[in-house]
Structures are given as C-alpha cells and as structure tokens.
Structure 1
C-alpha cells in the first residue's frame, strides 16, 4: 500500500505524471480571470515564500519569461487548462506573473464577421 504522504503519480516512461488535483492542492477554480488567449509574463519580482509553490509553479514561471498564452503554458506543462489557470493565478497573486486579456474590438457573434470567416475558410 502506498505511503499516504506521497502524491499519486503514474510512470509514463521517462517522465512522471502527477494527478492534477495534487498539483492544485484540490482547487478547481482560479482566483484570476484568465482565458486561453490571455498573455502571461514573468515580472521578475514577487514574494514567493520558499516551499510555498510547487515544481509545476516553477515550470510555469520559467515559461513566462516572454509573453506566453495560457494555452501554450498548458501545452508545455502537459496539464489541463484549468490546472494551469490555478497555477498561474497563484503566480499572479504572488506578483511573480502579470496577465493581460486579449483585446477584442469586434463582436464575435456578428453575422457579417462569421460569414467572412466562413468564406475565407472555404477558399483554403
């Protein structure tokens, strides 16, 4: 029987995979409003207490050295988007990362825009 103090892991060949609920300490909702296209970037500062953030936090922070989308961070970490949003929210709260929502000056439900998009896709 496994030791209850160790996180549940699976052996995937050369890498270990930790269950998402373990990565987020059971949290399922991020504290910051982020979407897939939000750009996150390390600030170079922040108050991160030693031992307060996990290995996955450190990996996410490294990926944020240049502006990176939430979707890209999730892909590189091989974690579900919601897990990455929770990790990034922790980093935002600590001041180590800043986030910027995408700027949209259009109505995504505009029928003319959708028609133009459809026509463009058909030409491909």
Structure 2
C-alpha cells in the first residue's frame, strides 16, 4: 500500500489480495442452484467416466481440479476449498456447475438423529453371535 500526494492510502498491485479472480472464476455468481446441498461437510464424488465427458473448452481449470481431486477419493466441500486454496463460496458455485453438468455427485452424511441407536446395534451383534 502506498500513499498518494495527500497521504491517503491506496492499493497497489497484489496489496489488495485476490479480489477479482474469485469473482471472475464464478462469472460474478455468488450462489448456485445446488446451494442447499452444498454445506461444508457435503461429500463430492466424481465418476471415473466423467473425465471422458468433460468438455475441456467450457470448464475452467478449477472445475477440472475439482473433478480430479474428487475422482481419487470423495472430498468434502471444505476439503476441496482448502486443497484449491479458494473461498468456500467460490467452490460451492463451481461444484454447482459440475452438478448441473452431471460430472459429479454430492451426498450428505446421515444426520446423527437418523443413525440407529447403540442399544439396537448391540442387540443385533448379540443376536448374530447367538447364531
């Protein structure tokens, strides 16, 4: 940051940080149609055949990185954002694009309230042992 003739600070080059690039990556969008599915722990999985269907000229390098990372192993939205060093909001928009193109799938973990009770699981184990 430097001062102009009157001593007021102004941003120069990289001092402002990566402000425009994320905005440009999402083409100005801040939300995707799949916003409700894409919380931080949502798991993104790319099919192994998705690479053959990827129209390289229409997807950004970040789209391709998401496909590549989630093909190797399922990744949460938070993990993808950390790996790509991008804001979570940007990653959500990019994943929404990939969902729309059917290049990835998103699943959400089962909420703890819907998991079976530990007592029931112990009874099942005991029943199996009795066989």
Tell me if TM exceeds 0.5: yes
Question: Secondary structure at 2:113's aligned position in 1?
Answer: coil
Partner of residue 57, structure 2: 51
Structure 1, unmatched stretches of 5+, are: 1-9, 12-16, 108-124
1:62 alignment partner, one of 50, 68, 71: 68
Q: Which has the higher helix share?
A: 2
Structure 2, unmatched stretches of 5+, are: 1-12, 115-131
How far residue 22 of structure 1 moved from its aligned partner, in angstroms, is 0.8
Preserved contact between residue 31 and residue 89 of structure 1 (Cα < 8 Å): yes
What is the TM-score normalised by the length of structure 1?
0.67
Partner of residue 77, structure 1: 84
Q: Structure 2: how far apart are the matches of 1:56 and 1:31?
A: 19
Question: Secondary structure at 2:79's aligned position in 1?
Answer: helix
Superposition pairs of residues 1-124 of structure 1, within 5 angstroms: 19-32=21-34, 33-46=37-50, 47-65=53-71, 66-106=73-113
Runs (4 or more) in structure 1 with deviation over 2 Å come to 44-50
